[in-house]
Amino acid sequence: MGQGVESAAHACSILAVAPRGRALPGARLAEFYALPPAYLRKHLGQLVSAGILAATPGPAGGYALARPAEEITLREIVEAIEGRGRVFRCTEIRQRGPTGLSADCYPTRCGVARAMWAAEEAWRAALEETTIADLVAIARREVPREQQERARAWLSESPSDGGA
């Protein structure tokens, strides 16, 4: 699995606690996590296409949550980044080889594929149980107070005050 999921999940968490009404530029978000700015923005763009984030161009623009944090699940984020397609790809190898028949002869899907896809669905169902709001709540409980205050201050200060 690509690391884009991790970046996207953390970015959504930060946007959930960022001051409401003010968009956060991708470059600033990347600075917060010390990530490659252009690459993070690629993933943020995927989240926008999925309807999870809203992007506003121009000065004072940036990214913001398109919906309440309670309604955004990890499943949506993963599917926005990794794609909605199945992870296991069935190539119907049972139809190949000297004993294989034509595709019409197989009314049901391959048992291997069904089992793999059922497991994937269990995975997606588990991901659906966690929302961005849950992640924020966990962070509020477990992240050291010092970082929480530093993050709050950093999010409030203007974009160019950080240096020295």
Partner DNA sequence: GGCAGGTTACTCGGATAGCGATTGTCCGAGTTGATCTGG
Partner DNA sequence: CCAGATCAACTCGGACAATCGCTATCCGAGTAACCTGCC
Compute the least distance from the CB of residue 135 to its own copies, in Å.
Answer: 5
Distance in angstroms between the alpha carbons of the first and the last residue of the chain: 38
Residue linked to tokens 């309670």: 70
Q: Which does 42 bind (CB under 5 to 8 A by kind): its own copies, DNA, none?
A: DNA
> Would you count residue 10 as binding its own copies (CB under 8 A)?
yes
φ, ψ (nearest 5 deg) of residue 53: -115, 160
> Would you count residue 146 as binding its own copies (CB under 8 A)?
yes
Per-residue x/- mask for its own copies, residues 96 to 115, rule CB under 8 A? xxxxxx---xxxx--xxxxx
Burial 38-48 (b: 16+ CB within 10 A, else e): eebbebbebbb
Give the DSSP letter string of 81-136: HH-SS-SS----GGG-STT---GGG--S--HHHHHHHHHHHHHHHHHHT-BHHHHH
25/119 Cα distance (integer angstroms): 38
Q: Which does 17 bind (CB under 5 to 8 A by kind): DNA, its own copies, none?
A: none
Positions in 68-87 near DNA (CB under 7 A):
82
Per-residue x/- mask for its own copies, residues 53 to 92, rule CB under 8 A? ---------------------x------------xxxxx-
> Would you count residue 116 as binding DNA (CB under 7 A)?
no
> Would you count residue 126 as binding its own copies (CB under 8 A)?
yes
Tell me if 60 sits within 8 A of 49, measured CB to CB.
no
Give contact residues for its own copies (rule: CB under 8 A): 1, 3, 5-7, 9-10, 13, 31-35, 74, 87-91, 93-94, 96-101, 105-108, 111-116, 118-120, 122-127, 130, 134-135, 138-139, 142-144, 146-147, 150-151, 154, 162
